[in-house]
Chain A
Amino acid sequence: MEEDEAAREAEVRERHEAYWRENVRLLITLMSIWFICSFGAGILFRRFLDQFMIGGYPLGFWFAQQGSIYIFIGLIFFYVWKMRRIERKYDLDD
């Protein structure tokens, strides 16, 4: 009996840890995109990007005043969707 319980507990802990690792990996990916499109495209590389145009917007300027905001929204909803799947996979959804 006790062994069963210990085994179950170990299994739960294993599952939680695997879930957390997967979450952190996803967070690192998404936060990298967050950084690249705002601080990268909108600030650090905007002079380079400004030579391209999107409609009447210089590209770097567009990222800084429009594009990064749209991408932020996309990132959050992607995370919502992806986490839902990960939580189901590990049977940890709420």
Chain B
Amino acid sequence: MATQTLIYLFVGLSFALYIGIALWSRAGSTSDFYVAGGGVNPVVNGMATAADWMSAASFISMAGLIAFLGYDGSVYLMGWTGGYVMLALLLAPYLRKFGQFTVPDFIGTRYYSKAARVVAVICLIFISFTYIAGQMRGVGIVFSRFLDVQITLGIVIGMGIVFIYAVLGGMKGITYTQVAQYCVLIFAYMVPAFFISFLITGNPVPQLGLGSQVNDGSGLYVLQKLDLVLQDLGFAAYTDGSKSIIDVFCITLALMVGTAGLPHVIVRFFTVPKASDARKSAGWALVFIALLYTTAPAVGAFARLNFVETVDGTPYDEAPEWFTNWERNDLIAFQDKNADGVMQLSAGTAFTGAPEYSEDTGPSGERLVTNAPDPASANEVYVDQDIMVLANPEIAKLPGWVIALVAAGGLAAALSTAAGLLLVISSSVSHDLLKSTFRPNISEKGELLAARLAATAAIVVAGYLGIYPPGWVAQVVAFAFGLAAASLFPAIFLGIFSKRMNKEGAIAGMVSGLLFTFAYIAYFKLANPAANIEANWLFGISPEGIGVVGMVINFAVAVAVAKLTTAPPAHVRKLVDSIRVPRGAGEARGH
């Protein structure tokens, strides 16, 4: 069967599966809609959390990111896994014991204040929307690259699918769909990884392959060879980084704390039956995530090695087929600076910015770009980092069904994360704003309807942001973590571990942490991007890592303000006592 037919078949089948699950698991009550009735098995929840967590960026972009960053890519690997230790140990079991529906629920009740709840809702919506626009875009990109469909149409199809299972099934539908999506995405990720690891090292397990010798008879280990090859071309060694230690430290910490503070991740732990299950579930989530996250650095390294070896010094007209395939898809460009028809790689960029193709082809048949060449570098090849995963099956010469699998996997990763985000947005509107703040008399039925309407509205907004991505989305999407680290995490942590923390302290802390982080990021990323260099950074910390400073400010302000104002009332101290012990969790309930 032709690859294209297989792709339609695989994607179609996976969509049919998601819709089938949605019809089977419709939500009947608000508890079903918000927390899947609170009865999800911890291992199942772990798997759903993993799918929820691993976005289009994890699936498509991360290995490529690491391939080009080398050691510096470790910030993502440690940052996006270490947060689960904080979740399991410091947050999840207590929030589950608390036993309500949303993150603002906890903050509003613990800090006995509607204002605190509303501040939390604002943080949550801001974080979730910056994140979700990227997911919808990811859906569109996978569609357009694998199915030859316009990005806009792809996004609309994606919106339709998410609409069916998120609006009908709520958290219940999302949970079981995410389990299916995890299976699809992990299978799609591992199959090409096994093959490429076997191809390069003779060991099919990528985690071991990365520590093995290259099977070209040189006796060199993969990483040694990669260091040598890259240094020959003038790049930094792969196992060396170029970021400063303090920056690596802060980015990693910001990503970890941010992960632990992301509402769509936290809320998944409200769906298990008991507080002890929340701990277990976080462990399982990390097992399922680690499967992909320990594979990604191997895929990145193999793909980089393979790429450099096949491309550097090869005449364009002898380039492998995948090279021209992806050139056609705008992900690769060859700019023959010295006009010898041979592709030379070197440190630095071929030209600035993304390639702008003209209609013409050059003397060797390459697509010409109109970008001005970068005179500082001899590099002639532009390559989009996403290619390291997308082109893997072709590089490893795998059959068409593997390519179809990767398409289905990328869609599964993007859709599962989008659905999780939509849910927290809609529940914060229907539950936190409507039911708990502005319309306390609303009936259960009315609240469920409001939740569905809010989910629908959120899908439309997310789709719009995906089709017309405002410039700032791409600029700030990675910063959702910094904002979560600087706003929500400290408020939740102090709410559990400090009985003295009061509403004045928590609100002042959240607001100052959020404002500081937001201002720093906005200054360097939006207002004055030219100034975004190490010499101008506070303590040498890049905007990616500044959430750590925001978090410290949040903690400091919260503790200081709480000291100067009155202690929380007795019923709140009792509440803290009760969430600290696991006994008597019961099912999640409204109030």
Contacts and interface: CB of A to CB of B under 8 A. Distances in A.
A72 to B, nearest CB: 5
A16 interface: yes
B581 A92 contact: yes
B221 A42 contact: no
Contacts of B73: 65
Contacts of B245: 43-44
B584 interface: yes
A94 to B, nearest CB: 4
A42 B279 CA distance: 25
B533 interface: no
Interface in B23-59: none
Give the secondary structure class of B's interface.
helix
A38 B255 CA distance: 13
Given A31-B89, A43-B249, A64-B77, A73 B221 contact: no
A73 B431 CA distance: 34
B211 A76 contact: no
A28 to B, nearest CB: 10
B78 A64 contact: yes
Interface residues of B, number: 50
Given A30-B89, A56-B221, A93-B276, A68 B584 contact: no
Contacts of A39: 249, 252-253
Contacts of A72: 81-82, 84-85, 286, 290
A57 B210 CA distance: 8
Contacts of B580: 16, 20, 23
Given A46-B71, A55-B221, A87-B582, 5 more contacts: A34-B82, A72-B286, A76-B279, A77-B283, A87-B583
Contacts of B88: 76, 79-80
Interface string A25-68: 00100110010001100111010001000111110011011101
A9 to B, nearest CB: 12
A27 to B, nearest CB: 6
B290 A70 contact: yes
B224 interface: yes
Interface string B213-230: 100000001111000000
A57 B223 contact: yes
Given A16-B580, A61-B223, A73 B283 contact: yes
B28 to A, nearest CB: 26
Nearest to B81: A69
B452 interface: no
A31 B83 CA distance: 11
B110 interface: no
B380 to A, nearest CB: 30
Contact of B583 (A44, A62, A79, A92): A92
A16 B275 contact: no
B10 to A, nearest CB: 29
The residue among A54, A56, A75 with the most chain B CB atoms within 10 A of its own CB is A56
The residue among B73, B78, B583, B584 with the most chain A CB atoms within 10 A of its own CB is B78
